[in-house]
Amino acid sequence: MEIQSIKNRFSIIGNSPALNYALQVASQVAATDLTVLINGESGVGKEVFSQIIHTLSARKHNPFIAVNCGAIPEGTIDSELFGHEKGSFTGAVDARKGYFETVNGGTIFLDEIGELPLGTQARLLRVLETGEYIRVGSSKVQKTDVRVVAATNRDLLQQVQNGKFREDLYYRLSTVPIRVPSLQDRAEDIHLLFRKFAADFANKYKVPSVQLNEEAIQLLINYPWPGNVRELKNIAEQISVLSPDKTITAEALSKFLQPYPKNRLPVLQAAPASGGTEFANEREILYKLFFDMKKDVTELKRMFVDLLQNPELAAHHPQFVNQLQEWRGPATTELLPGTSNPVPASMTTAVSPVPVIHTGYTRANPGIQEHEEVEESLNIIDKEKELIIKALKKHKSKRKDAALDLGISERTLYRKLKEYDIEE
């Protein structure tokens, strides 16, 4: 059948090359029993192509049914497609035929095929390859002769790579792929479609048909149309009913359009203003915590050594000396040589929790002879184990409170207790 006669028969408006090619493929494959996979964004009219394929096929006098796989709950999808026996599950008070049984000899259109659970995908693959299926709760193999036309607005190859769609089913479905272009890819058809919809709604609501001026036409064409033909039809209906003027300007049209950006490519989100980072699990949080601690400790050691080498700096950093005093509490203090600032006596040996720094400083020998830095362990497993033990001691072995304090789930805490062999 010629492309123009198909357009007239199914009320398809448009002359873009991509649309014409899709219609040509649909008309050629209709005479066969090949499985067809229709790809396209939501709202482009994929179901119309399934109806074209069925109507132009030898099955046109047999049943046709359209099934939205995304609208059926996962727990009942097998029953809907393949049927079930009485008592096979709660609520199955009677035996029921599935779509593949009731549409035997006809065509079934599986919309949003990417929403099918993996178990149902395996059942569907068997139907496509052998024509056999089994009702839920039965062991009897039944035969069916149904042509499958599937559709999706998702990238099924990407879902195959992510393990969400069976690779063998993908290639079995896409024997003949048909790509339905989006409205943005057929810009030359946008105004034609609008005029057709406006005329239809004018006739439906008994009102004069609206007209667009040149600026409004350009705005209509440049709009991204994320909802495709479905969105364009809704806009035409709103304008036909709500607009007081029948000559629509760009300003008047813009009031009906959503403020979508023209570029609809995915945008990478910038990091939060506070510099924060989201983490996948508690171990990554601990990594971040310890890296920050190590950075702070390194800076603190540098300041400490500078203070010992240049005692006069203590007069300019009283807050540092005060911080050391807070760490050690009311312990014995000494004076840094040449200053009147009290410094914890332990500063000449070790400061906790800062890593131990051994110096050659004594009151008899105020010069720095040598120093050796002894790094504390930064092993992530040791630190994680240490934090868990501390949290359990703090909360007297109450797992729930300890897990809450650690910022992890009680289940994760239980797993880590087993992993690290920690006795409560």
Burial environment of residue 216 by CB neighbours within 10 A (0 to 12, 13 to 18, 19 or more): buried
| pLDDT given for residue 405 in this prediction | 82
| pLDDT given for residue 320 in this prediction | 55
Instruction: State the residue range of the domain holding 298.
Output: 282-373
Query: Residue 346 has which token pair?
Result: 């332990």
Say yes or no: 194 and 161 in one domain: no
Say yes or no: 173 and 29 in one domain: yes
Q: Which of 124, 151, 181 is the last residue of a domain?
A: 181
The three-class DSSP label of residue 68 is strand
Q: CB-based contacts of 29: which residues, under 8 Å, 6+ apart?
A: 36, 53, 176, 178
* Residues across the chain: 424
Q: What is the pLDDT of residues 36-95, one digit of tens each?
A: 999 999 999 999 999 999 999 999 999 999 999 999 998 899 999 999 999 888 888 899
| pLDDT given for residue 279 in this prediction | 44
Helices H / strands E in the chain, number of each: 17, 13
Q: What are the two backbone dihedrals, phi and then psi, of residue 32, each rounded to the nearest 5 degrees?
A: -100, 180
Q: What is the mean pLDDT of residues 306-332?
A: 57
Say yes or no: 18 and 165 in one domain: yes
Say yes or no: 358 and 305 in one domain: yes
pLDDT value at 180 more than 90: yes
Q: Which of 353, 373, 393 is the last residue of a domain?
A: 373
| pLDDT given for residue 259 in this prediction | 79
Q: Which of 163, 181, 199 is the last residue of a domain?
A: 181
Q: Is residue 312 part of a domain?
A: yes
Say yes or no: 87 and 129 in one domain: yes
Q: What is the mean pLDDT of residues 17-29?
A: 95
Say yes or no: 69 and 209 in one domain: no
Q: Is residue 45 part of a domain?
A: yes
The three-class DSSP label of residue 359 is strand
Better-scored residue on pLDDT, 374 or 206 = 206
Better-scored residue on pLDDT, 183 or 75 = 183
Q: What is the mean pLDDT of residues 147-163?
A: 94
Say yes or no: 157 and 84 in one domain: yes
Say yes or no: 84 and 8 in one domain: yes
The number of beta carbons lying within 10 Å of the beta carbon of residue 377 is 9
Q: Is residue 262 part of a domain?
A: no
For residues 46 and 228, the answer to whether their CB atoms sit within 8 Å is no
Say yes or no: 300 and 403 in one domain: no
**CA Rg, the chain, in Å?**
36
What CATH number is associated with residue 145?
Answer: 3.40.50.300
Better-scored residue on pLDDT, 310 or 147 = 147
Q: Look at 101-115, 310-324, 388-402 and tell me which has the smallest mean pLDDT.
A: 310-324
Which of 280, 316, 313, 194 is CA-nearest to residue 243? 194
What CATH number is associated with residue 222?
Answer: 1.10.8.60
Domains identified in the chain, total number: 4
Say yes or no: 315 and 346 in one domain: yes
| pLDDT given for residue 159 in this prediction | 94
For residues 144 and 126, the answer to whether their CB atoms sit within 8 Å is no
Q: What is the mean pLDDT of residues 113-139?
A: 94
Average pLDDT, the chain: 81
Q: Is residue 248 part of a domain?
A: yes
Q: Is residue 273 part of a domain?
A: no
Say yes or no: 168 and 295 in one domain: no
pLDDT value at 281 more than 60: no
| pLDDT given for residue 393 in this prediction | 86
Which of 36, 49, 64 is CA-nearest to residue 10? 49
Q: Is residue 346 part of a domain?
A: yes
Q: What is the mean pLDDT of residues 8-28?
A: 94
What CATH number is associated with residue 397?
Answer: 1.10.10
Given the DSSP bridges, would you call strands 147-152 and 176-179 parallel, antiparallel or unpaired?
Answer: unpaired
Say yes or no: 150 and 13 in one domain: yes
Better-scored residue on pLDDT, 31 or 329 = 31
For residue 415, name the pLDDT band (cuts at 50, 70, 90).
confident
Q: Is residue 267 part of a domain?
A: no
| pLDDT given for residue 236 in this prediction | 95
Burial environment of residue 290 by CB neighbours within 10 A (0 to 12, 13 to 18, 19 or more): middle
Q: Is residue 413 part of a domain?
A: yes
| pLDDT given for residue 377 in this prediction | 60
